[in-house]
Structure 1
Amino acid sequence: MKVLDLQCGGGHVFEGWFASEDDFQQQKQRGLVQCPLCADAHIEKRLSAPRLNLGAREPAAAAPSVALSSSAPSAAPRAPSAEGNSRPVADAGGMPPPALQAAWLALARKIVASTEDVGERFAQEARRMHHGEQPERPIRGQATPQETLELLEEGIAVLPLPLPAAAKETLQ
């Protein structure tokens, strides 16, 4: 099994597991390797350290967190964490850290799992629920910018939310 660090054209970093290098190349050529966040098929391998399984060892103690002083220059914007320390919002290239990407993908999957996809009927279904013609339920779908504006003007609360294709299916 070969574990590769991959990156899409949009800069999202993720991990892929393949039987071999040839398997990765074949899947990439067939367009089967896509970014789990944006579904971009322009995937490149990143440098990664090999994983060597040399036997079980005692887990090392976690390194203590270090808060940067406010006078230290930072390449990325920082946001306060629950502990009050600063943590990066994005890396120097403007991309969110992998933990944030994973959290976004998990949230997107939860939204997909708890809503009904009504597709291009979204505006009509939202109106029918708003006017009491059918019971309210959580829905998602597609609407044009014009339809979205009309729904908002009618007082129907909608939220444009681009969901990555990977949120709509299970990863294998």
Structure 2
Amino acid sequence: MTEHAGADLPSDHDSLMAREIYPGVTLGEVDYSPEEVEWALYQKPLGDAASVIETEFDDDYALAYFGPSRTFTIGFTGDAPVGAITALDETGLPYSTIEDLGFTAAEYQAAASAVGSTVTDALVEADLMPAVLFMVGPDPTEYPGMIVVTVTGPDAASRQAGMAAVGTPSVSAPFAVTVVEGGENITAF
């Protein structure tokens, strides 16, 4: 992992409020909560850069995520393209890169989808659905290439039965799978 130091955000209130967060709109012109200010000054610029990178360098882009304490990590299949680094540097914010992951974001999502199909088949075969459900998706925060399956159900016994039926689905390297117990199923009304 390579750390990249960006410029610190201005510390004076007037400079922050004059910062343009949308075309023609400064932070001082919107009534944002402290959380929304944090998003506008830190997460939005890096998220916008990541979106451009994901689109323009789709054969190179693998993953991106925000971590604790103002950390942002972006990963690439091989070497980070110069244009991608330029887009990140232009934010003036710190970020980290991971290179040589050996997979693209599309391949990561395809692996997660395949795991989802395997989990569905296991729960149907065990006659546990629709009481036991699950969520599946890439989660690079623990390990680049990690896919997390969260089993949900009406009670702990149902969730444990679901986890037993699912086991640990197999997936090809460089991906890995972990299965965790979630809570009750979320029902939309």
What range is the shorter-chain TM-score in?
A: under 0.3
Bigger share in helix:
2
Q: How high is the TM-score relative to the length of structure 1? A: 0.26
Structure with greater strand percent: 2
State which structure, 1 or 2, has the greater radius of gyration over its C-alpha atoms: 1
